[in-house]
Amino acid sequence: MAPRYAELHAVSNFTFLRGASHPEELVDRADALGYTALALTDECSVAGVVRAHGAARERDLKFIVGAEFRLADGPALVVLATSRRGYAQLCRLITRGRRNAEKGAYRLQRADLEDGLPDCLALWLPGRDLAGSAHGDWFAGLFPGRCWIAAELAADGLDRPRLDGLCRLARRTGLPLVAAGDVHMHRRGRRALQDTLTAIRLKVPVAEAGFALHPNGERHLRSRPRLGELYPPALLGETIAVAERIDFSLDELAYEYPRELVPAGHTAASWLAHLTEEGMARRWPDGAPRKVRDLVQHELALIADLAYEPYFLTVHDIVAWARSRGILCQGRGSAANSAVCFCLGITEVDPERMSTLVERFISKERDEPPDIDVDFEHERREEVIQYIYTKYGREHAALAATVITYRPRSAMRDVGKALGLSSLQTDRLARAMQWWDGSHVDPERVREAGLDPASPVMRRLLTLVRELIGFPRHLSQHVGGFVISDGPLEELVPVENAAMEGRTVIQWEKDDLEELGLLKVDVLGLGMLTAIRRCFDLVRGFDGRELDLAGVPAEDPAVYDMISAADTMGVFQIESRAQMAMLPRLRPRCYYDLVIEVAIIRPGPIQGDMVHPYLRRRSGEEAVSYPSEEVRAVLDRTLGVPIFQEQVMELAVVAAGFTPGEADRLRRAMAAWKRRGGLGPFEDKLKAGMRARGYSEHFAEQIFNQIQGFGEYGFPESHSASFALLVYVSAWLKCHEPAAFLCALLNSQPMGFYAPSQLVQDAVRHGVEVRPVDVNASREESLLERRDDGTAAVRLGFDRVKGLAAAAAQSLVAARESGGRFASVQDLAERADLDRAALSALAAAGALATLAGHRFRARWDVAGVEAPEGLFRSMTRYEALPLLARPAEGQEVRADYESLGLTLGRHPMALLRERFRRRRYISAEELPAAGHGKRVRVAGLVVTRQRPGSASGVTFVTLEDETGQINLVVWKATAEAQRRALLSARLMGVEGEVQVEGEVIHVIARRLTEHNGLLGTLAVRSRDFH
């Protein structure tokens, strides 16, 4: 009979570069081996416990939360939490250790433990210190009656003397012995990976890691019979005794939102009702419609039922503060699209504008916390974050962590190094990881890297890489997931330093919080909000008109015409190639069309083959039918095609009989199935449920495929609805305020798909006048100037000038404002106190044209500016004037690109047009006339190269010539065969066939040629997306 056993000392891969198994793997294995309990004791961390807890709950294994510590001035020990209080003490200790050291490290001393772990048990890890030194007494004194000496036997040849020594130590200190495994992996088979991790940690090849490696693979979860051979029975029995003293589960963690938001005399509910009422009066000064009033009442009741008031109040507080600072923001997410949130100002999407049904977002039965993400202007998000820290304090607010895991490339790099490959080889292999399909790498790529794909080294490498992928590497901060708590946060989860100065993160990530049902607020940054706010400001500054998100005239047909023509460069969300290709087919005519548009052009729906059915139904080519009335209710608004995540969940409920809670688990499984697998049980239940309700096998199959296609990319309607508003507003601005819109986009760079050059070209094509950078007219950023006819022109700002420091630009503007226009380069240098680098940058940008003439002259002048010296400060130096030729147009254009990244002169292609014309190349403008299927030649600057994951190896290339953009489709075979031209061309010539689909014109590339030579050193940068 195998002895009972509880493992009390095991580290997972959350003890970075030491543990060689996932927490779930440890739990599963411990359960399979029939362990009574398993403690996860990562080093000064509980980052992995939620995962282990989740797995243990499913398996019915007793799970113990603990951590391992190595004290700077004392012994190593394991601390186990016996209760909620003990858990809080443990978290506090971890927090202290982590906050004491820089990111990723911890530092604890004996003194740090002394004030309290009264509700924890402890195992002393004496290591080789069997003499006991002074630690034993300290240890025994600190944990009276609740501490043990861990006897860890690893068959290293010293087990017997060690055990003898430990027994002596136990007698001397009076502490009991308990067996423990010092577990680093769930199976012996991870030995190679564990060695590799050690090598990576020490930054040496495995072959040189020497005695830093464990001598054998014993540090795994060993079978109970084997443990029985190794340990005296009493020591094994003691593990059970220890485990039995522990009565704590992470499920006990409950969460309370800060109470301070509720003024005296109010309850959270009454205060929320009060604020909602106030907001309603603001939104509808003449009184809200009956429908809205009812909706609000209904929602408030629901919120009260679930006791979510503090959550709404917290979000409201943050949003209200941001608004008071003029920071544009908008909420999205499951709870955001409620009428209550509209009244509270959390979102601007008028519930009247779409058929909001709050149960779509919050439900009583679903055991799901409400989710509100708030987007803020990306440049001002930091202010919001600092506000939260200030308001709630670091004891109550921290960012969620993001676990950075090994990806194929990083895994290849690290394992390669550990196996002693040269950095050159590893780099080349890492490159080859682009072709990683999860189990093997294209052998051709391996050969290209100079290695034999069948060699033992490669086999070892690939095996280890496969195991390592997905391993956590370190904790980083989540972009904006805030946890705010009523009690001290560090009693809920440890807090540690983030890489960024002044930031702290908790040790759990979003999924962990969700798993435990804890609430968080996502404070995110969105570049488009910055641009829109800037645009509103510019319009107000120019002619005093006030605009805001809700106030932009709704449902303007001109805007929808523009969108339907795919004239959307710079517009939020719908400016990508894929979106632009779809717009003329979808022809959105109303707000809800935009909601669909945003959600449908995504990898999920594309892979799930939802786009084409929807298009056919929308155009009337295909009849819309529903297998039942229930299904119609769910899918009516999207013509019978499930497009949103919520619809899938609703379908699961109405068609397959899921409970709302199950549907929510399905949603989470959907998000993660690619990473973790596990749609299996849902598949059966779903199909069986549908069959039972009389739906056809075909329908069930189709729905399931669509769910799978959603994968991680499925987009919730609640997010789409909020985004669609920004789509509409930015499109409206582009349509009606093109100058201000361009100016705002330029000042909010980098953002979006297009570089300033394309944005400027596009605006110019739309008749916007763009004026050059000029030391006597420009400011730090681009600005609007009034043209003679009273309309706006854009003056480029100094921020476009490469190599000009912001401080120099500021001092220039200040000098001009105080002392008037500059008269000469010397005058500029002296008054604005500019150094040669700044002057050179201005000369290169052509910004000195009004002072010195053409660029060559300007640069000569700048080169001759002397540093002002005392008395001779303003002494003019007379010297011979050089005869400098005026730069040729091509040189000017090239210099424009080099310094500004764009030109206001003629497009480089215009200069080369004659040359291309002679070789029968046509322009973008002439493409439509060429006709479908025609063989043509086109050429242009490469603007973007994009290889979307969903497009099975197709590369999309966008070229730009003087008349517009040309969309290329490069099939995989063409790309492989003509890789050089594809990758290196900045000016690309293409021979291919025209493909016309509605208003969308592509050129299917057959032959690519590179004409970089024609550009000289024209610095044209392509934006490459993968």
Partner 1 sequence: MVSPLSESDSVLPAEGEPPQPRAERGRVTAVPGPARQQPLPLGGGEPPAEDPSPSYSRQRRSQCWLCIRLPGIALEALGESAAASAGPVSVVEEEGGQVVVHLANRTAAAAGIRPGQTLSAALALAPALRTLSRRPRRERVLLEALADWAGRFSPLVSPEAPDALLLEVQGSLRLFRGLDRLCRLVTEGLRQRGHRALVCVAPTPLAALWLSRDASSRVEGVAELARYLNPLDLRVTGWPAAVLRALGGIGVTTIGECRRLPREGFARRFGAARLQALDRAFGRLPDPRPHYTGPPRFREQIDLGEETRDEALLAAGCSRLLALLEDFLLRHQRAARRLRFRFFHLRGGATPLTLGFSDAGCDVEHWRSLLGIRLERLHLPAPVIAVELATGRLEHRDGDTTALPLVPGQAGRHEEGLPRLVESLRARLGENAVRGLRSLAEHRPQQAWDEVDPLEGMAGDGGAGPSPWNRVRELPAAAGRGEGDDLLLERPLWILMQPQRLAVYEGRPCHDGPLQFVHGPERIESGWWDGADTARDYYVAETGAGARLWIYRDRRPPAGWYLQGIFG
Binding of partner 1 at residue 427 (CB under 8 A)? Answer: yes
Of 970-1009, binders to partner 1 (CB under 8 A) are 979-980, 983-984
Taking the least distance from each CB to partner 1, the nearer of 133 and 270 is: 133
Contact window for partner 1 (CB under 8 A) among 154-162, 346-354, 371-379, 589-597:
154-162
Binding mask 453-492 for partner 1 (x = CB under 8 A): ---x---x--------------------------------
Binding of partner 1 at residue 612 (CB under 8 A)? Answer: no
Taking the least distance from each CB to partner 1, the nearer of 218 and 299 is: 218
SS3 category, 286: coil
Of positions 119, 129, 556, 827, contacts partner 1 by CB under 8 A: 129
Of positions 32, 134, 155, 837, contacts partner 1 by CB under 8 A: 155
Q: Which residues contact 906 (CB under 8 A, 6 or more apart)?
A: 889, 893, 962
Taking the least distance from each CB to partner 1, the nearer of 169 and 936 is: 169
Best CA proximity match to 41, nearest among 6, 17, 65, 20: 65
Q: What's the one-letter identity of residue 484?
A: I
Q: How far is the CB of 189 from partner 1 (least distance, A)?
A: 11
Binding mask 842-871 for partner 1 (x = CB under 8 A): -xx----------xxx-xx--xx-------
Using CA atoms, how far apart are residues 658 and 689, in angstroms rounded to an integer?
8
The arrangement of strands across the sheet holding 177-180 comes to 6-7, 37-40, 62-70, 76-81, 120-125, 147-152, 177-180
Binding of partner 1 at residue 241 (CB under 8 A)? Answer: no
Q: Using the 8-state DSSP alphabet, how is residue 346 labeled?
A: S
Q: Residue 970, CB half-sphere, CA atoms under 13 Å: how many?
A: 27
Using CA atoms, how far apart are residues 175 and 135, in angstroms rounded to an integer?
12
Q: How far is the CB of 859 from partner 1 (least distance, A)?
A: 4
Binding mask 521-540 for partner 1 (x = CB under 8 A): --------------------
Binding of partner 1 at residue 884 (CB under 8 A)? Answer: yes
Taking the least distance from each CB to partner 1, the nearer of 754 and 897 is: 897
SS3 category, 50: helix
The number of residues making up the chain comes to 1026
Q: How far is the CB of 16 from partner 1 (least distance, A)?
A: 16
Of positions 134, 158, 454, 500, contacts partner 1 by CB under 8 A: 158
Q: Report the sign of the C-alpha dihedral through residues 300, 304, 308, 309, in that order.
A: positive
Contact of 738 with 562, CB cutoff 8 Å? no
Taking the least distance from each CB to partner 1, the nearer of 324 and 876 is: 876
Binding of partner 1 at residue 128 (CB under 8 A)? Answer: yes
Of positions 254, 424, 806, 977, contacts partner 1 by CB under 8 A: 424
SS3 category, 381: helix
In this structure, what are the phi and psi dihedrals at residue 776, rounded to the nearest 5 degrees? -95, 5
Binding of partner 1 at residue 419 (CB under 8 A)? Answer: yes
Q: How far is the CB of 614 from partner 1 (least distance, A)?
A: 39
Of positions 879, 914, 919, 920, contacts partner 1 by CB under 8 A: 879
Using CA atoms, how far apart are residues 133 and 139, in angstroms rounded to an integer?
11
Taking the least distance from each CB to partner 1, the nearer of 285 and 882 is: 882
Contact window for partner 1 (CB under 8 A) among 108-116, 417-425, 519-527, 801-809:
417-425
The strand pairing partners of 397, in sequence order, are 484
Taking the least distance from each CB to partner 1, the nearer of 438 and 882 is: 882
Of 87-126, binders to partner 1 (CB under 8 A) are 126
Provide Rg for the chain, Cα atoms. 33
Q: Where are any strands of DSSP class E within 628-672?
A: none
Binding of partner 1 at residue 15 (CB under 8 A)? Answer: no
Q: How far is the CB of 155 from partner 1 (least distance, A)?
A: 4
Task: Calculate the dihedral angle through the C-alpha atoms of 347, 348, 350, 351, rounding to the nearest 10 degrees.
Answer: -10
Q: How far is the CB of 834 from partner 1 (least distance, A)?
A: 17
Taking the least distance from each CB to partner 1, the nearer of 522 and 896 is: 896
Taking the least distance from each CB to partner 1, the nearer of 128 and 919 is: 128
Of positions 883, 919, 929, 1026, contacts partner 1 by CB under 8 A: 883
Taking the least distance from each CB to partner 1, the nearer of 155 and 977 is: 155
Q: How far is the CB of 424 from partner 1 (least distance, A)?
A: 6
Taking the least distance from each CB to partner 1, the nearer of 386 and 422 is: 422
Tokens 């400027």 belong to: 760
What is the CA 178 to chain-centroid distance, rounded? 45
Taking the least distance from each CB to partner 1, the nearer of 205 and 657 is: 205
Using CA atoms, how far apart are residues 200 and 202, in angstroms rounded to an integer?
5
Of 180-219, binders to partner 1 (CB under 8 A) are 188, 191-192, 195, 206-218
Q: Which own/partner contact pairs does 221-224 have at CB distance under 8 Å and 24+ positions apart?
A: 221/7, 221/10, 221/26, 221/29, 221/30, 221/33, 221/35, 221/181, 221/183, 221/185, 221/186, 221/187, 222/33, 222/181, 223/2, 223/33, 224/2, 224/3, 224/4, 224/5, 224/33, 224/34, 224/35
Of positions 118, 157, 393, 953, contacts partner 1 by CB under 8 A: 157
Task: Calculate the dihedral angle through the C-alpha atoms of 684, 686, 688, 690, rounding to the nearest 10 degrees.
Answer: -160
Of positions 810, 891, 995, 1009, contacts partner 1 by CB under 8 A: 891
Best CA proximity match to 707, nearest among 660, 664, 635, 643: 643
Of 761-790, binders to partner 1 (CB under 8 A) are none
Using CA atoms, how far apart are residues 860 and 261, in angstroms rounded to an integer?
64
Of positions 102, 156, 247, 621, contacts partner 1 by CB under 8 A: 156
> What is the 3-class SS of 235-274, one letter each residue?
HHHHHHHHHHCCCCCHHHCCCCCCCCCCCCCCCHHHHHHH
Q: How far is the CB of 946 from partner 1 (least distance, A)?
A: 17
Q: How far is the CB of 215 from partner 1 (least distance, A)?
A: 4
From the number of C-beta atoms within 10 Å of its C-beta (0-12, 13-18, 19+), residue 470 rates as middle
Contact of 220 with 185, CB cutoff 8 Å? yes
Q: Which parts of this chain interact with partner 1 (CB under 8 A)?
A: 126-131, 133, 154-158, 160-162, 165, 188, 191-192, 195, 206-218, 419-420, 424, 427-428, 431, 445, 448, 450, 456, 460, 840, 843-844, 855-857, 859-860, 863-864, 879-885, 887, 891, 979-980, 983-984
